[in-house]
Amino acid sequence: MEGIVFFMRKYLKETVTTVDTCLVKGQFNLMASLLKRYVRDPMKGEEPLSGEERRNADKAAVPLWIFSMIWSICASVTGPGRPQLEQFFRKKAEEHEFANFMPPEGKGDASMYEYCYDQDKCKWVEWMQTIPEYKPNPDQAFASIIVPTADTVRYTYVIDKLLLNDKHVLCVGDTGTGKTLNVMDKLNNNMPDLFVPMFMTFSARTSANQTQDFLDSKMDKRRKGVFGPPMGKKYAILIDDFNMPMREKYFAQPPIELLRQWMDHGGWYERHPPCPFRTLQDMIIVGCMGPPGGGRNPVSNRMLRHFNFLSFTDMSDESSIRIFDTILNSYLTKKFDKDVAALSLPICEATINIYNTVRRDLLPTPAKSHYTFNLRDLARVFQGLLRADPRVVAEDSNELYGLWMHENLRVFQDRMVNNEDREWFRELIDATAKEKLGVGWDEVVSLPEPKRPPEEADNDDWVPPPRVDRLIYGDYMIPGAEPRVYQRVKDRSELQRVVEEALDDYNGETTAPMKLVMFLDAIEHVSRICRVIRLPLGNALLLGVGGSGRQSLTRLAAALEEFHLFSIEVAKGYGKNEWRDDLRKVLLMAGAEGKDVVFLFTDTQIVQENFLEDINNIL
């Protein structure tokens, strides 16, 4: 153990800085959790271990020690360092003569992380063998689909073992690695009835008072000075963005220090006189946070010592393909014939190739600080692909390729700030499509010349209608259609007519008409906004100089999609109370009344910074 910790400190990088004693404590916490099944308490009337159970316990002792080492000390290392750590671990195992107890050497570079010790079979098995086969539901909402992979299974397994034994867990990893999603799914669906889930999200402006008030409001009084969840229950509290609270003058983070007081002393003092001590029982914390940096602050070692660390690494390409191919293939198989469904795997491979290339080559710079891409962006491409309509795609597979190109453009290219990057990305799509799908950009995007209608056969002055030489998709071409058909818009004059009619209808119903000239670039922006607001959980950040039409085009897009647009009116004296009243109105409108609502919020309306915190909490 000492040699492994020394090797980590000297040659490898951890997702969050730790101290040696904290890592060792975490290893013993996990070891105790795994051995609990072999512990019997005669005071509770439990039967002693049978002979077979004793033999299994003897067989499992060393493998479980190895497993607890892998998922405590070795789990704090970042992904690139894991193959090196495995080589060193196996070398030490040979020196100390326990190599026969190690997990098998698999195909991957860090294969010891790919195996779980099955205590029933007394052998190492691959993670995917520990769960039943997943059967996708093509009618399930995209945001609620969780396809199990080796990554998700192993993280939730370790979290489960620790929580069942009252150990706090801290999940650390970059944005989009699945920390919050997996923990929320675990707490909501796969925990015993004993546990009651509770969710909090920290931000830079979260205060200790807010944290204390929130937790106190959830507690029942058990006896004088003692509070907790309902009797017979335990709170499993997920705190997202755990390290986001702003540091004060002396570098402490007050909300985190409040929680540390509870962990160290069992409670905290009430703020109202006579300020008695409030003891809190039966709570377990699961924290999720990104590595320090980029607005996230380092958490003090005094707090970290209470947690077991679990480092969420970037998902492997194999896991990504399994997730998105399962989702896309399930949808295409249900909606289309087998020839179209067979395109699922090539499309997944092509999309992941584009995603990896963009992440590698388009790095954030001071001028392009928003060039940050994660797994959520990859998911948005497939979310758009699930809007493919059989009435359009079934006739021509190029329609599916066109939709795939369009969704990649919307997710990745719309974030790019100059023509050089946009052209580079278009060439990337062209090269990837030729390699993976066997078609090029021109084959998909270029439209044939329209045929001369019979009535114009003798008209020498006939001019073909202008075609749209860009990938523009929308579901608004047939106003009032139900269900709407999301398809490529090919007729430029018809597109302009539909948008201008929507503008005329809007101007006829509002007291503040908009005088807009709908040229093709403006129409394309409207289509982009329409796409976002139609997507479940779709939100857009529109960047541009003043007067570039961000608000006007959003209002027009909302009218095209038949959404109700809500925006606050900032007047003198507008403050937190008025802001909360407006938020209440828009939430009731969307939730209680069931209306489709676009909430338009501009930078000039940010009277107080806590407005942004409220929006962040809603999102």
Q: Which residues pair with 118 in a beta bridge?
A: 123
Query: What is the distance between the alpha carbons of residues 40 and 50, in angstroms, rounded to a whole number?
Result: 11
Q: What is the DSSP string of 145-195?
A: -----HHHHHHHHHHHHHHTTT-EEEEEE-TTSSHHHHHHHHHHHSS-TTE
CB atoms within 10 A of CB 581: 10
Q: In 3-state terms, the chain is what percent helix, strand and coil (to 5)?
A: 50, 10, 40
The pLDDT, as a whole number, for residue 171 is 93
Q: Which residue has the tokens 């969840």?
A: 229
In this prediction, residues 566-577 reach a mean pLDDT of 90
User: Which has more pLDDT, 46 or 317?
Assistant: 317
pLDDT number for residue 464: 67
pLDDT in tens, 547-564: 888 999 999 999 999 999
Q: Please enumerate, as own/partner, the contacts of 249-255 that have beta carbons within 8 Å and a separation of 24 or more.
A: 252/300, 253/297, 253/299, 253/300, 254/207, 254/208, 255/202, 255/206, 255/207, 255/208, 255/210, 255/211
Three-class SS of residue 473?
Answer: strand
CA dist list (Å): 445 to 408, 439, 464, 540, 548: 14, 11, 18, 26, 28
Confidence of residue 466 (pLDDT cuts 50, 70, 90): low
Query: d(Cα 39, Cα 62) in Å, to the nearest integer?
Result: 17
Percent of the chain with pLDDT over 90: 45
Pairwise CA distance, residues 153 & 131, whole Å: 8
DSSP state of 144: G
Q: What is the pLDDT of residues 297-317, one digit of tens each?
A: 899 999 999 999 898 888 888
Per-residue pLDDT averaged across 58-80, rounded? 90
Q: Which residue do the tokens 């999609």 mark?
A: 561
558 bridge partner residues: none
By DSSP bridging, strand 564-566 and strand 597-599 are parallel
Domains of the chain: 1-130 (1.10.472.130), 138-315 (3.40.50.300), 319-445 (1.20.920.30)
Global pTM reads: 0.86
Q: Is the pLDDT of residue 467 over 80?
A: no
Using CB atoms within 10 Å of the CB of residue 406, give its burial: 0 to 12 exposed, 13 to 18 middle, 19+ buried. buried
Mean of the per-residue pLDDT values of the chain: 88
pLDDT tens for residues 226-277? 999 999 999 999 999 999 898 988 889 999 999 999 999 999 999 888 889 9
* Residue 483: other Cβ atoms inside 10 A: 7
Q: Are 486 and 384 in contact (CB under 8 A)?
A: no
Other beta carbons within 10 Å of 79: 20
Give the residue among 542, 553, 556 at the shortest CA–CA distance from 602: 542
Q: What is the mean pLDDT of residues 107-113?
A: 75
What six digits make up the tokens of 342?
């067979």
> For the segment 418-452, what is each residue's pLDDT rounded down to a tens digit?
899 999 999 999 999 999 999 988 888 877 666 67
The pLDDT of residue 551 is: 92
Determine the average pLDDT of the residues in 445-472: 70
**pLDDT given at position 351:** 96
Question: Which residue from 230, 232, 239 is spatially nearest to 260, judged by alpha carbons?
Answer: 239
Confidence band of 212 (pLDDT split at 50, 70, 90): very high
Is residue 308 helix, strand or coil?
strand
pLDDT 10s digits, 357-373: 999 999 988 888 888 89
Output the pLDDT for position 528: 94
Alpha helical stretches, state H, 433-561 = 441-445, 492-509, 520-534, 550-560
Kindly indicate the confidence band of residue 108, based on its pLDDT and cuts at 50, 70 and 90.
low
End-to-end Cα, the chain, rounded Å? 43
**pLDDT reported for residue 524:** 92
Return the pLDDT at 54: 87
CA 202 to chain centre: 16
Long-range contacts of 114-120 (CB under 8 A, 24+ apart): 114/150, 116/67, 116/154, 116/157, 117/60, 117/63, 117/64, 117/66, 117/67, 119/34, 119/37, 119/56, 119/60, 119/64
What does the pLDDT read at residue 49? 80
Spatial separation of the C-alpha atoms in residues 414 and 586, rounded to whole Å: 28
pLDDT at 142 over 90: no
Confidence (pLDDT) at 121: 87
The per-residue pLDDT for 585 is 94
CA-to-CA distance for 223 and 39, rounded, in angstroms?
Answer: 32
Across the range 451-469, mean pLDDT stands at: 68
Identify the pLDDT of residue 465: 62
Distance in angstroms (rounded) separating the CA atoms of residues 127 and 151: 9
Query: Are 68 and 34 within 8 A, CB to CB?
Result: yes
Section 59-87 average pLDDT: 90
In sequence order, which ranges of 13-81 are alpha helices (DSSP H)?
20-35, 51-70
Cα(599)–Cα(572) distance, integer angstroms: 21
User: What's the average model confidence in pLDDT over 393-402?
Assistant: 81
- Which of 11-15, 126-130, 180-184, 528-532 reaches the highest mean pLDDT? 528-532
Instruction: Give the 3-state secondary structure of 313-360.
Output: CCCCHHHHHHHHHHHHHHHHHHHCCHHHHCCHHHHHHHHHHHHHHHHH
Higher pLDDT, 177 or 394: 177
Task: Collect all residues with Cβ–Cβ distance below 8 Å to 102 and sequence separation of at least 6.
Answer: 66, 89, 90, 93, 112
pLDDT for 134 equals: 85
